[in-house]
Structure 1
Amino acid sequence: MDSTSSFSSFCDLPEIEESSTGSTFEFFKQVYAKLEDTGTSSNEFLHRPTSHDVALITQAHEERHRIPGMLVSLDCTHVEWRLCPKNLKGQYTRGDHKQSPLFQNKRNGSALDSSFIANGWHSKRSDYLTDGIYPRWDAFVNAYPHPVEQDERKLKILQEAARKDVERTFGVLKEKWKILDRSLRLWTEEKIGKVVATYIILHNMIIKDNGRTISPVHIMDSPVPRVYNPEANRELQDENVHHRLRYDLTAHISALDYHTLMIQ
């Protein structure tokens, strides 16, 4: 099986039939092993967006949500770890357990060019829609907590509608893969990671089989030398750029009719 294989043909393989396993986790473990053997997990269905992906994703999001440069709406979901060791309890109920790998490519100098223009201002990278729990970093667009002007209310409406997409996605995933909606009886983080990776890959395979993929063709970028950028964290955490980005997005959508947005 290569990266062009379909979900249906993959699940027809006798080696991973659920009836041959003793538990749901054993089934997921066998699926993950098969994915690893075929290279599926590292090729098409679980990878960082390429330049080709970014262009198509931001275009699709602007057409759907009217927000330019939107790469993703950030959110998180919880998977309960029943057998979490006592010395780790409490660490996995917060969002600051480890440094996020989200901007790792920016730190090592291999970030893609995802720049865009809004309100005549050139932004270096795509924007990430967030809620109030996220810091005021340059690429994060937090919703106005108490919008005053009508244009501020417009952006808030658009942002809340876009964030419903990611919230629905988590709901769909937990409904489809019931193992994630229960307390996991696993002993290690590694096993939990494999379960989560497996259901994400299978979900993406189903999306492609159904013809609903935004970027159906996987086009890899040329290798880029990795060079540590000591200024990366300072640039990422620039609160002035954060406010400027939200201001320009607000100005960009000012021509949209407020009452039409309320109806939609």
Structure 2
Amino acid sequence: MIGSLYCIHWDWKNCLTRWQGGFSGRSRKPIVVLKTVALYDTWIWHVFFGVPGSQNDITVLGRSPIFNRLTEGKTPQLDYYINNRQYNMGYYLADNIYTKWATLVQAIPNPRNDAEKLFTLHQEAYQKDVERVFGILQARWNIISEPARGWSRENLDSIMMSCIILHNMIVEDEQDEYIDEESDDDQEDPNRSRRVRAKIYDGPNLPFNLRTSSICINEYMRRYKMICSCATNKYLQQDLVAHLWAKRSME
């Protein structure tokens, strides 16, 4: 699980008249959409901001570049097993409003047994991590706790990005030390607050065009269909339910 995905709608009070039609959503008020991916410690590592408010969360996800590198075959190679089934793509926790893709895992709307109830309870609990990120941002910076008063999208982007960067700096400063289990403790500097070493991961072994440094269109479409697979989403959710219930039974 890479992180939790969530979309936030920020009211734009001083939106120019010629832009209000494109930025007005269901509330008939100008809105700017912010899509974030955050971890359990509220660290924000992916942001897609500035989308007109007339678009819903699904179209915002389609426009965002979050799956671009995965489709292009430029992400690290992943191979792991859940309930004796092999998977090669990471996944995000999301609301039920999103499409059933292989890279998204939603809660079960109507759990029918104890195993599904346990999975839904854990999924919704971890999903709250990203939902409270914007609440933390609003509590720390009053400028984004109220409707935006900027006159241009560039100013709003600078404000939001600055607040997010400062938020990540605070989270990194306040979190516990990172300890690399593969490193030698005798060789580490005890005064360093961050001990994680950078590692180089191998990407998937795909046929790249030497001239364009990209994969062929057939491979691109194959990987795109693999990401949008509803069947993989179903199997992944079922395996996670079985794995979590088996782990609970062993405790």
Flag whether TM exceeds 0.5 (same fold). yes
In structure 1, the partner of 2:224 is 233
State the Cα distance separating 1:223 from its structure 2 match.
9.9
**Aligned counterpart for 1:209 among listed residues 173, 176, 187:** 173
In structure 1, the partner of 2:8 is 77
**Aligned counterpart for 2:113 among listed residues 116, 140, 149:** 149
Name the structure with the higher strand share. Answer: 2
Distance 1:223 1:186, change over 3 A: farther
The answer to whether residue 169 in structure 2 is matched with residue 219 in structure 1 is no
State the Cα distance separating 1:212 from its structure 2 match.
4.0
Residue 170 of structure 1 aligns with an amino acid whose one-letter code is F
Q: Distance in 2 between matches of 1:102 and 1:213?
A: 28
State the Cα distance separating 1:104 from its structure 2 match.
1.0
Q: Distance in 1 between matches of 2:96 and 2:227?
A: 17
Q: Is the 8 A contact 2:14 2:151 kept in 1?
A: yes
Q: Distance in 1 between matches of 2:83 and 2:152?
A: 48
Name the structure with the higher helix share. Answer: 1
State the Cα distance separating 1:245 from its structure 2 match.
0.4
Give the number of the structure with larger relative contact order, counting CA–CA contacts within 8 Å between residues 6 or more apart: 1
In structure 1, the partner of 2:153 is 189
1:60-90, CA deviations, whole angstroms, 9 ceiling, x for partnerless residues?
A: xxxxxxxxxx111111222211233224223
**Aligned counterpart for 1:158 among listed residues 122, 130, 136:** 122
State the Cα distance separating 1:135 from its structure 2 match.
0.5
The answer to whether residue 9 in structure 2 is matched with residue 88 in structure 1 is no
Residue 80 of structure 1 aligns with an amino acid whose one-letter code is D
The answer to whether residue 71 in structure 2 is matched with residue 110 in structure 1 is no
1:154-198, CA deviations, whole angstroms, 9 ceiling, x for partnerless residues?
A: 100111111121122221111111111111122222222221111
Distance 1:74 1:105, change over 3 A: same
Q: Is the 8 A contact 1:138 1:242 kept in 2?
A: yes
Aligned length: 190
1:209-246, CA deviations, whole angstroms, 9 ceiling, x for partnerless residues?
A: 21347694473747978524232321111100010000
Residue 219 of structure 1 aligns with an amino acid whose one-letter code is A
Q: Is the 8 A contact 2:76 2:201 kept in 1?
A: no
Identity among equivalent pairs (%) = 28
* TM-score normalized by the length of structure 1: 0.65
Q: Distance in 2 between matches of 1:234 and 1:257?
A: 34
Which ranges of structure 2 fall in alignment gaps of 5 or more residues?
Answer: 25-51, 180-193
Distance 1:218 1:169, change over 3 A: farther
The alignment yields a C-alpha RMSD, in angstroms, of: 2.5
Q: Is the 8 A contact 2:119 2:244 kept in 1?
A: yes
